[in-house]
Chain A
């Protein structure tokens, strides 16, 4: 057994996290910054942070993840990191020529108390920032929240630094997609186009984190939200913030700063969340839902009615981020499954409130958030009463193998399979893909386990 020391007997822990269902803020800030056009994320701290984040994002996307670090030494830890950041700025603009440097902090620079705003001002004063180039920053202390918080903080900074009001409203709708894959961002943009809605998506990692192989390395890729687009978000008709944790804070700031009407929504995973997204988008932009989208929806519902028997009462355990888990669990319930165990390391009451509502019809459902809501606990729950399916990131494969439960890879990071950056999980088409994955997992299992006399050709 790979997780041979996980006992069935559950003892409450107060201080120890084992096999976490979250990571730290800076990696989220780095991922968000990769969704700005010609932007180089910069990690203000020891160089290990940057190396770890780049490595993990690279394993997940199988793409270049370019980012820089302030490379703190003991001296910087004692005297502060101003000199390191100023040198960084000089080197970065000389060598890598980004339009934007997006600085995020780390637990080290936060504990020291480096004032990034002041350091950026000093860089400007010393002429270290070329004309039409920008440095933005987000405070992302690793000891508060999770990777999702870091993502949210960097998205908020995009609004803080760039969003403007010219006084003339544009006919556009802002879409803050939340922590999703480049494929999801692409799909959400396609839905907007299909609806006839002009949109600004930020951040947007399509074409930065799913680049084509053309034999030419390009430092930043062709994608990402441009500075002009970020500025224009202040003039949009409305903002659709997808995901309470990752997107709403930026939506609220945009509303406060530029009076752009905010619609708070779930990430459109599954049928109901996509319905709400489409309905809200149609309302916000004042357009009717086109028949083509209705037909997409119909195809999803068709696959559901065709296969409902296979989902019914199947017990599922999930781990990941609240923004994804809430609509995903809602979808599983909608199709007759039972998400019985759900954990997220990302802390916050929001998860508890939404899960209570989503899982109210699921007998014996357990859900938990925060430091000790980890994969160790989830595994212990499974040991006490097993499940049919596990959904979450790559680390779940250890539980999956030990307990002989199929794993559907979903969330971050997925380091051992591909597809997530190319095929969306959002929208009706994304939901069809999810259904395909669910069915494959369940039916493969049935084929593998059926006695010979019960082995079936057709399902």
Chain B
């Protein structure tokens, strides 16, 4: 089909979808559903980071999930206490597959523990601050942590518990660095608000406190990598091979100390743009460390990202080493693709997940020769779709306004410009981009669907219309889609596989997807007696 035909038929799918909606719902959804035309001028807009329509069956979670679950979840030596009724702590207890590797048998690792103030009705009526103080005291007494995070759940804001004041008081009393997060579930419109709240607090209370970091010639801090299924392990290994020192990862396989010393890195790279790009901006402004976007999902993307890091440091030895590693890794990747690609080429995929994954994973499908028909994010913003160029045009609505924007100034003593203005200009002249992200839409084909905050109704509709070979989403969608007789690849928890980052991860992903597409199990859905030709059945009856 030509691109023009693709666009036309996609438009008719959109029309059909809108016609099923109540008027108000249709009006809102139409702006979040774009038939992609990347060449169009002026650039297409998509509405994102807006309220989910009640009752629609969204994939989204809440601010608490983004704050406690996503950002702070993977850090092993900050003791997390959920302040609220028991559920939120319970559901976020080890359920996100963040792996961690303490340096020794005795090093702190609190990730296996779920701590909660387990608020009861009397705490809701009379306030929960007293209980929270006591809980922090008991927790410090048992675990002796360096740092404690306190996470507010929905009722906390309503009953007026001041978690920040309590945290300050308890910091003094216990000697641990205690800080609070106002990440009540109703804040913002999705997990994204929670990421922001988490990162702001880490920036305020932790980043910059450290005075030492691992030694190395090329010191990098990686932001927005959460070590699902060991992704951060794979990247640590890759960086070590190249002679690059990872000073800190936000927040996969991370520690409090890493966050505290992140500002000592000489470069910040950003994996998941959505969850953390603003921290990169703040580190640059306060400490003088430049940043750019990388992507280690996909072999080609990994190679490109490594090269860019090497280019940044302008060191011939590093460039050579990086090229050597890439050559070595690509050989393995190519060997694998030679086997896999013929078995999956031309198959189609849809990706509806996260705030960067729906974009990043398109790289892997491309490498396998598969076609992406539709994609969208669960909680991303317009810049993740359209690129950072759109940031000045994004209207701050009421839901975003209640998420604090930190005002950052250069640090009086710790600011150290890693590159002079002349150096930066020279690099820019050669086409080196900082603070860059082009977004998902420009990289998708004309006529593909881009849908923000997709809901169940739309999911069913586009699957019926396009019949993709594989659908990528999360646990809530997993068995819904599979009941339709097709595989769903989970891109939050990787279906308990992974890692998928770096070259090694790309190979894992190719193999997993190939297996899912070609496994025999889907062939057993219809019972043999339904496959029987009617004539044969008649024949048997007659002979009887």
Contacts and interface: CB of A to CB of B under 8 A. Distances in A.
Is chain B found bound to chain A in the same assembly? yes
A371 B122 CA distance: 14
Contacts of B61: 47-48, 51-52
Interface residues of A, number: 84
A292 interface: no
A143 B62 contact: no
B462 interface: no
B87 A26 contact: yes
Given A24-B90, A55-B95, A215 B484 contact: yes
B106 interface: yes
A23 to B, nearest CB: 4
Contacts of B187: 74
B131 interface: yes
B154 A108 contact: yes
Contacts of A89: 55
Contacts of B525: 213-215
A161 B62 CA distance: 31
A106 B189 CA distance: 18
B457 A11 contact: no
A71 B190 CA distance: 9
A7 B113 CA distance: 13
A49 interface: yes
Interface string A1-22: 1111101000101111111101
A319 to B, nearest CB: 13
Contacts of A213: 482-483, 485, 525
Contacts of A68: 54-57
A1 B378 CA distance: 36
Given A47-B62, A143-B85, A143-B121, A217 B484 contact: yes
A46 B124 CA distance: 17
Nearest to B118: A17
Given A24-B85, A66-B456, A111-B155, A5 B53 contact: no
A7 B142 CA distance: 8
Contacts of B84: 107, 142
Contacts of B81: 16
A69 interface: yes
A108 B54 contact: no
A342 to B, nearest CB: 19
A42 B55 contact: yes
A48 B114 contact: no
- Most B C-beta atoms less than 10 A away, residue of A85, A106, A111, A345: A111
Given A20-B90, A48-B62, A54-B476, A88 B154 contact: no
Interface in A74-101: 74-77, 84-85, 87-92, 94-96
Interface in B61-117: 61-65, 81, 84-95, 105-106, 108-110, 112-117
Nearest to B159: A111
A237 B203 CA distance: 66
A63 interface: yes
Nearest to B399: A73
Contacts of B408: none
B63 A48 contact: yes
A304 to B, nearest CB: 36
- Most A C-beta atoms less than 10 A away, residue of B61, B84, B87: B87
A49 B185 contact: yes
A48 B190 CA distance: 8
Contacts of B112: 2-3, 398
Contacts of B59: 51
B485 A73 contact: no
Contacts of B132: 15
For chain B, the bracket of interface size reads 35 or more
Interface in B447-484: 456-457, 460, 474-476, 478-484
A76 B62 contact: no
A24 B86 contact: yes
B399 A90 contact: no
A19 B113 contact: yes
Interface string A207-243: 0000101111110000000000000000000000000
B124 A111 contact: yes
B480 A66 contact: yes
Contact of B113 (A5, A54, A144, A415): A5
Given A88-B55, A89-B55, A143-B123, A108 B483 contact: no
B185 A48 contact: yes
B55 A55 contact: no
Contacts of B65: 48, 51-52
Contact of B60 (A17, A51, A64): A51
A338 interface: no
B58 A69 contact: yes
B186 A77 contact: yes
A91 B190 CA distance: 20
A143 B475 contact: no
- Most A C-beta atoms less than 10 A away, residue of B20, B59, B86: B86
B398 interface: yes
- Most A C-beta atoms less than 10 A away, residue of B90, B134, B187, B399: B90
Contact of A14 (B138, B457, B460, B526): B138
Given A74-B186, A76-B186, A143-B121, A64 B62 contact: no
B476 A65 contact: yes
A23 B116 CA distance: 11
Given A14-B134, A46-B186, A111-B154, A91 B105 contact: no
A62 interface: yes
B476 A55 contact: yes
B538 interface: no
A42 B56 CA distance: 10
A430 interface: no
A58 interface: yes
A53 B112 CA distance: 20
Nearest to B158: A111
B82 to A, nearest CB: 9
Contacts of B190: 47
Contacts of A76: 186
Given A16-B135, A90-B55, A215-B526, A395 B93 contact: yes
B330 interface: no
A37 to B, nearest CB: 18
Contacts of B93: 19, 395
A34 interface: no
Contacts of B114: 18-20
Contacts of A66: 57, 456, 480
B107 to A, nearest CB: 9
A70 interface: yes
A91 B25 contact: yes
B451 to A, nearest CB: 15
Interface in B317-360: none
16 contacts: A15-B134, A19-B93, A24-B85, A26-B87, A47-B52, A52-B65, A52-B91, A68-B57, A71-B54, A85-B54, A91-B54, A95-B20, A141-B124, A142-B85, A215-B484, A218-B483
8 tightest CB-CB pairs across the interface, nearest first? A48-B62, A88-B55, A24-B87, A46-B185, A215-B485, A15-B134, A142-B85, A52-B91
Given A5-B142, A54-B476, A72-B186, 12 more contacts: A1-B105, A14-B138, A17-B116, A52-B88, A53-B91, A71-B60, A73-B51, A74-B399, A96-B456, A107-B124, A141-B121, A376-B113
